[in-house]
A = this chain, B = another copy of it.
């Protein structure tokens, strides 16, 4: 089976000042993920590698470069899901960790729980020996007002050569959010879903609207029976607007290896691997 990967850098308004940096970052993330897949690696490893690259990149609102909450603190959300087993790991409103996606992966690997939030999630990170990060490590100059409508959530979906799917999502959340706010990026079914039988999806956009319509599961559950994933993605965004009262974007790979992306926002940068292995970056 041919490997497939698509990554996104968040749905929102176009961001002129970061456009170049984001395109380069998404290209690198897609390359990192694709290299793992082409080496015979697992979809789960590929999406984690891609999202980790974007968390480390200050041009995105995830990990380093995350936006500030109402208190001026950084609290991050991340989740990932293994389509082979439906095993999932997620963290919400977590502080003090460098890579929330690695913490979500540790939650998945440990296996007892799916979602850890707040201080308890941070304690789990310490117990796992994951690298910590101070607010200053994560803070990027000029970011205080940067993320108002400019997206910057990141996500990845992949199909590996063994036919397994995975999805991952990570974000700093929304500008001046209430402390303890957990958005769709931490919620399996809303921001992230993967099921080998159907497909994998990562969502971005108005987090509360995405939660109301359970966007990622809604899209994935419509796949199968040969349905076009691009049509499914657009239909899901129609529900997001009509029922959830919000805008956003979605990346999908189905179990046949067909990738799709769609957005109802003015902009969402994505990078994906073409059939010939070349990485394409699009706004």
Contacts and interface: CB of A to CB of B under 8 A. Distances in A.
B188 A113 contact: no
A117 B114 contact: no
A115 B181 contact: yes
A11 to B, nearest CB: 18
A213 interface: yes
Interface in A70-113: 75, 81, 86-88, 92-93, 112-113
A48 interface: no
A202 to B, nearest CB: 15
A91 to B, nearest CB: 9
A167 B119 CA distance: 29
Given A87-B212, A189-B211, A211-B189, A112 B179 contact: no
B180 A119 contact: yes
Contacts of A183: 113-115
A119 B118 contact: yes
Interface stretch (A26-34, A214-222, A250-258): A214-222
Interface of A: 75, 81, 86-88, 92-93, 112-124, 177-183, 187-190, 193, 195, 207-208, 211-214, 217-218, 221, 243-245
